[in-house]
Amino acid sequence: MAVSSPLPQGAPPVHVAIIMDGNGRWATARGLPRTAGHRKGVEAVRRALEAARELGIRYLTLYSFSSENWNRPRDEVSDLMQLLRFYLRGEIASLHKNGVRLRVIGDRSRLSKDIISLIDNAESLTASNETLTLVIALSYGGRQEIASTTRQIAEQVKAGHLEPSDIDEGRFANYLSTAGIPDPDLCIRTSGEKRISNFLLWQLAYAELVFVDTLWPDFTKRDLEDAIQEYHRRDRRFGASVGSR
């Protein structure tokens, strides 16, 4: 068994976002149906959450189901929804016991009523927890979120509650589904793909992006530690030149 190397000096990133990719390829490589990869991916979620807690990460956002994923075969979508039910019913007590707060972002209008109820109950139960906030991006799309936020602000202006001059980056961010959550410091994508696929388009403006070849079902604490090591090697200037620091 490989021994994890110690993390470099410095605080861990406050907020880590992960695009969990590769479940289908993991299954195909083993001659299994794609649904087997999704089930195995749930185990990787547990490992990532435990590792994040151990490393002192305060926010962990997981891209679990995009708005585009509704276009997948009906049987696959149905299986993913069943896995979501399983997770919400079977894991919430453990999350609560370990001080994890759950937040779910995305368009809930396409979810079944029982799933919405499970989400509401889980969010309510864990609302006061402070060890770590787990954000699940479900039926989520970054462009859709920005469009929805723009509509909300436009309605406020139309109603006379806001002036156009009141709208700045901070005001806009307050209408996003991630309001009150710091923007990610680090975004990891598994499976070797090098794109963000409509994920947190506003929030990732200054995040460090790390792409790893590991397929999501094989993702371990060591992979997370390696990504954080890469994060610590980066020079984060937030658009400022070296000379201005």
Q: Is residue 197 marked as binding?
A: yes
The phi, psi pair for 136, rounded to 5°, reads: -105, 120
Supply the DSSP string of the chain, one letter for each residue. Answer: -PPPPPPPSSPPPSEEEEE---HHHHHHHTT--HHHHHHHHHHHHHHHHHHHHHHT-SEEEEEEEEGGGGGS-HHHHHHHHHHHHHHHHHTHHHHHHTTEEEEEES-GGGS-HHHHHHHHHHHHHHTT--SEEEEEEEEE-HHHHHHHHHHHHHHHHHTTS--GGG--HHHHHTTSTTTTSPPPSEEEE-TT----TTSSTTTTTTPEEEE--S-GGG--HHHHHHHHHHHHHS---TT--GGG-
Is 168 known to be catalytic? no
Q: Is residue 24 marked as binding?
A: yes
Tokens, residue 147: 């469009």
CA distance 167 to 222: 42
Contact 16, 186 (CB under 8 A): yes
- Give me the catalytic one of 69, 98, 129, 198: 69
Q: Is residue 243 marked as binding?
A: no
Q: Is residue 116 marked as binding?
A: no
- In which residue are the tokens 């068994």 written? 1
Q: Is residue 66 marked as binding?
A: yes
Q: Is residue 196 marked as binding?
A: yes
- Give me the catalytic one of 21, 79, 185, 223: 21
Q: Is residue 26 marked as binding?
A: yes
Q: Is residue 189 marked as binding?
A: yes
Is 69 known to be catalytic? yes
Q: Is residue 234 marked as binding?
A: no
Q: Is residue 208 marked as binding?
A: yes
Q: Is residue 71 marked as binding?
A: no
Name the residues annotated as catalytic: 21, 69
Task: Indicate the annotated binding residues for Mg(2+).
Answer: 21, 208
Task: Indicate the annotated binding residues.
Answer: 21-26, 34, 38, 66-68, 70, 72, 189, 195-197, 208
